[in-house]
Amino acid sequence: MKVIMLGAPGAGKGTQAKMIAERYGVPHVSTGDMFRANIKNGTALGTEAKKYMDAGELVPDELTVRILLDRVAKDDCKNGYVLDGFPRTIPQAKVLDEALDKIGEQVDYAVDVDVPDENIIKRMSGRRACLSCGATYHIEHVPPKTADVCDQCGSALVLRDDDKPETVKNRLNVYHEQTQPLIAYYTEKGILRTVDGTLPMEEVFNAITAILG
C-alpha cells in the first residue's frame, strides 16, 4: 500500500501519516528525514543534496526522487509506505509517477486532509512552545496549567514566528499556488480521497482507515 498525504500546512497530515504507518506496519517517509539521513550517513546522494542546501537552493526534483526511490527500495518498504512532504508540485508528481512506472509500481491513494484556511490560522496561532525543554501546548486544546508558563520546566512559552498569523497566511498562499493543484492531478488519476480535517484527530484517522481498508 503506497499512500501520499496531502493537505495544507497545519492540517495535521504529518500526525495522520505517522498513525497510518503505525497501524499498517509501513514506514512513514518524509523528505526532510530522508535528506537528513543521507547527509548524516555521508551517502553520494546526501553529498549531492547538501551542495544545494548549503547554497540555500532547493534540491532539484530529479535528485529528490532518486533519494526517495533509494529509500523506498529498502526492505522495510516492501509492503508499502506513507509519503509525507512529497510531491509538493505537479512537476514533482509527474517525475515520481514516471520513476515508479519504470519499476512497475504506482501510488495507490492520495489522501487529502482538508481544512479551511481560517481553521488552520486559528489552530496554528494558538500553539505555544517552550524553547528551553521543547514542550508544546495549544491555548485551547492543550493549555498549560499556568498561562504562558511551561508545565515541565517553568520557562516562558512563546508563539513561534512560523505560527504567527501573517506567516501562516503566507505559507497557505504558497500551498494554494503550488501544492493544491495536486488535488486535481490525483482526482484525474482516480486515486484522490478527501477527509474532513476539522474533525477530532481520531475521527480523521478512522475516516482514513475506512478508505485504506
Helix (H, G, I), strand (E, B) or coil at 82: strand
Model confidence over 104-132: pLDDT tens digits?
A: 999 999 999 999 999 999 999 999 999 99
Q: What is the CATH number of domain 2-115+172-212?
A: 3.40.50.300
Residues of the chain with pLDDT > 70: what percent? 100
Q: What is the mean pLDDT of residues 73-102?
A: 92
Contact 83, 12 (CB under 8 A): no
Instruction: Give the residue numbers marked as catalytic.
Output: 13, 88, 127, 160, 171
> What are the cell numbers at 6?
496531502
Residues 6 or more apart in contact with residue 67 via CB below 8 angstroms: 31, 34, 35, 38, 45, 46, 49, 59
Q: Which residues contact 103 (CB under 8 A, 6 or more apart)?
A: 69
pLDDT reported for residue 56: 82
